[in-house]
């Protein structure tokens, strides 16, 4: 099971892959309950990024790291309870 303490063991700057599910909505969809259920598409995302850390109960990952300024850029926040899988691809390489 994915939980906060498992994720927090990840070294800062590690390249990770996470699969997470999100709520979705379509304000223009119409039809009977059967039509809507038959056409349902699950909102599932797979994201690669650099592990920044955990804030409250959210996983924070970044798409970029600037070595010169020692700063992460392009942040994605994912609630931990939405995460279906979490994998370290590569620990932070020596800079």
How confident is the chain (95 residues) per 10-residue block, as mean pLDDT?
A: 91 93 76 82 86 95 84 90 94 69
* Cα–Cα distance for residue pair 65/80, rounded to 1 Å: 22
* Cα–Cα distance for residue pair 90/31, rounded to 1 Å: 46
* Cα–Cα distance for residue pair 23/61, rounded to 1 Å: 20
Looking at residue 93, what is its pLDDT?
A: 65
* Cα–Cα distance for residue pair 36/18, rounded to 1 Å: 28
* Cα–Cα distance for residue pair 69/87, rounded to 1 Å: 27
């Amino acid at each position: 099971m994915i939980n906060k303490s498992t994720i927090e063991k990840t070294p800062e700057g590690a390249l990770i892959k996470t699969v997470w599910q999100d709520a979705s909505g379509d304000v223009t969809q119409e039809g009977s309950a059967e039509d809507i259920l038959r056409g349902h598409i699950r909102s599932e995302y797979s994201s690669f990024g650099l592990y920044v850390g955990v804030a409250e109960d959210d996983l924070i990952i970044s798409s970029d790291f600037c070595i010169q300024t020692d700063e992460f850029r392009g942040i994605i926040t994912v609630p931990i309870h939405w995460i279906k899988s979490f994998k370290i691809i590569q620990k932070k390489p020596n800079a």
